[in-house]
Amino acid sequence: MKKRLTLSQKRMINGYLFILPWLIGFIFFYIRSILLTTQFSFSRLSVETVGGYTLDHVGLQNYVYAFREHGTFKQILTSSIFNMVLDVPLIIFFSLFMAILLNREFKGRTLVRAIFFLPVIMNSSAIATALRLSEQFVAGGISAGSSQMSTETVSSTVNVSYYIDLFGQLALPNRVLDYIVAAVSRINSIITASGVQIVIFLAALQSIPSSMYEVAKIEGATAYETFWKVTFPMVMPHIITNVVYTVIDKFAESDVVTLAYNTAFTTEFNYGLSSVFSLVSTAVTCLILILAVGFLQKRTFYYN
């Protein structure tokens, strides 16, 4: 009666066995959780002392509250998105540039690569919080912002506003100028945020077959042309990878996440509202990801 399984059937079952732990986890922790979060966002949740919770269905009330009454949600959401949109192209260009520099042969290359990856290793939000706190302590709470600015202008020997004026006189559009100034002032956060991206681009650059460069050289292409006609199209698929990674990474540490966490666990204990914040911000991020990937995918050349 017992039917013997064919090899492919056996392998099928084994395949399921291999992914089984993850599958259970995914269904239990992710699918169930997302459904629950959605349910929470439509209800008022009250935690009972014995354990467990009760849900009262309140319809769209949480959403209406978040968008029409809550004091800071909209500002924080827009500023997070704006920061993300500002940072992502900068990080991508910076890391591509650095990867090209690091891809050359020079002495101490491994050391420099190790240093470039250090910020990823040391990226501990606990330590960042501690340092920020202590800065506030030193500067004295509320006055921290202004005193910091004043020390900066005193200590820096470069008169920044002079250069800004100079660029202004070059008749650069104000928007562009603002963007450049913002970019330069963010250089620190951009460098620390692009460790993984640099490594990905480095790997991409090394996977480009050298015969392509030889052909380009024989055909008489200049370095500039080689970059735009060979290097850039070949790393384009990895630009998508990096955009996705950067968006997720930036989003995970944005203020919306903190707001959602605080609303649930420290300030208001309003779980429904927190779910709304989480869901809305996730939806926005996914939308940005889909738009960006769709936009880039059309322009991407796949070698294989």
Partner 1 sequence: MDTGKSVGIKNRIRTITENPKFVNSTRGMKADFKKLLIKVFSFVVIVGICYVILSPIIGMIVSSFMSDSDRYNPMVYMIPTSPTLEKYKISWARMNYLPTMGRNLLYSITLMLIQIFICSMVGYGFARFRFPLRRLLFACVVVMIVIPDHTIMLPLYMTFKNFDPLGLVSLFAGKPLVLMGTPIPMYIMTIFGCGVRSGLYIYIFNQFFRNLPKEIEEAALVDGAGIWYTYFRIMLVNAIPAVVTVAVFSMVWQYNDTFYANLFLISENIVISKKITTLQSVIANVDKILDTSIQELYLSAGVVLIMLPIIIIYVALQKYFIEGVERSGIVG
Site residues for partner 1, window 223-252 (CB under 8 A)?
Answer: 237-238, 241, 244, 248, 251-252
Query: Please, which of residues 38-67 interact with partner 1 by CB under 8 A?
Result: 40, 51-53
Residue 114, interface with partner 1 (CB under 8 A)? Answer: yes
- Determine the distance from the C-alpha atom of residue 72 to the mean position of all C-alpha atoms in its chain, rounded to a whole number: 22
Q: Which of 85, 131, 176, 291 binds partner 1 (CB under 8 A)?
A: 131
The span of 14-22, 158-166, 176-184, 210-218 binding partner 1 (CB under 8 A) equals 14-22
Assigned token pair, 192? 């620390």
Rounded CA separation 142/93 (Å): 36
Residue 85, interface with partner 1 (CB under 8 A)? Answer: no
Residue 5, interface with partner 1 (CB under 8 A)? Answer: no
Rounded CA separation 215/191 (Å): 34
Residue 138, interface with partner 1 (CB under 8 A)? Answer: yes
Q: Smallest gap, in angstroms, from Cβ of residue 57 to partner 1?
A: 17
**Coil, helix or strand at residue 45:** strand
Please tell me what DSSP assigns to residue 104. S
CA angle 288, 294, 300 (to 5 degrees): 130
**Coil, helix or strand at residue 173:** coil
Q: Residue 97 or residue 228: which is nearer to partner 1 going by CB?
A: 97
The span of 81-89, 109-117, 148-156, 174-182 binding partner 1 (CB under 8 A) equals 109-117
Q: Residue 29 or residue 163: which is nearer to partner 1 going by CB?
A: 29
Rounded CA separation 294/303 (Å): 18
Residue 182, interface with partner 1 (CB under 8 A)? Answer: no
Assigned token pair, 302? 């796949």
Rounded CA separation 204/182 (Å): 29
Number of residues near partner 1 (by CB under 8 A): 90
Q: Residue 5 or residue 130: which is nearer to partner 1 going by CB?
A: 130
